[in-house]
Amino acid sequence: MDFSILTNNIDMFLEGLKNTIIASLIALICSLVLGILIAIFRIAPFKPINWLGTAYVEFIRNIPLLVIAFFIFLVFRIPGLAAGTMALTIYTAAFIAEAIRAGIQSVPKGQMEAARSSGLTYPQAMWNIILPQAIKIVIPPLGNQFINLVKNSSIIAVIAGGELMYQGDLISARTFVVFDTYIFVAMFYLVLTIPLSLGVGQLEKRLAKNN
């Protein structure tokens, strides 16, 4: 291992790490908002809106993230990092919407019926009875989506977005030391993803115990 690659280019690595974290966090927050909105669309008791939500989820889930990123980057001419963050948001929102919908629908129907018969309105029943139960089921898959988000942010490198993978590419092109550079890039990714994975695993165990 040639550690001088790391020490000589540490500011580039850190710049990349910073951009990866920023892109992931912004995409996480935006995709949560968008995902919740689409999940509401999907379970709303009104067919055309339902259909809109389903169309979004099914279309986005079944096409590559890279194609979405290329589309935003090339057709709308948005700079790499911003285009990548938008693509990540659009893509991840579909998965988050699915996770939330599955969580809400996994709460037995009787709960909603009981709440409605005891005089609560639909929003009240949803907010006070269904959501608190659904959230337990939804949290672990959401955590996994966040890990995927961090990993997927690497595609921003393909549209010159300046994140970790892109910086790694630049460093390897400049120093001609590809192997070691990529190993260091891998380590930076693992520093981000392994704690997240362990956290999600821990959370899953605790939630499983509570049931």
Question: At closest approach, how far in Å is the CB of 119 from other proteins?
Answer: 32
Closer of 50 and 148 to other proteins (Cβ): 148
Minimum distance, C-beta of residue 118 to other proteins, in the bound complex (Å): 28
For the bound state, the minimum distance from the C-beta of residue 209 to other proteins, rounded and expressed in Å, comes to 16
CA–CA gap between residue 160 and residue 158 (Å, rounded) = 6
Contacts 24+ apart (CB under 8 A), 82-86: 83/159, 83/161, 84/23, 84/153, 84/155, 84/156, 84/159, 84/161, 84/163, 85/23, 85/26, 85/27, 85/30, 85/156
Residue 121 CB partners (closer than 8 Å, separation 6+): none
Residues at the contact surface with other proteins, assessed by CB under 8 A? 58-59, 61-68, 70-71, 74-75, 95, 98-99, 102, 106, 137, 140-141, 144-145, 147-148, 151-155, 157-158, 165, 168-169, 172, 177-179, 182-183, 185-186, 189-190, 193-194, 197
52 exposure class (CB count in 10 Å sphere: 0-12, 13-18, 19+):
middle
Taking the least distance from each CB to other proteins, the nearer of 115 and 181 is 181
Q: At what angle do helices 131-152 and 178-210 cross, to 10 degrees?
A: 170
The residue among 20 and 125 lying less far from other proteins, judged by its C-beta, is 20
- Closest CB 81 distance from other proteins, rounded Å: 16
Please identify, using beta-carbon distances, which residue of 122 and 179 lies nearer to other proteins: 179
Q: How far apart are CA 148 and CA 1, in angstroms?
A: 28
Give me the least distance between CB of 66 and other proteins, in Å please. Answer: 5
Tell me whether residue 30 or residue 177 sits nearer to other proteins (CB atom). 177
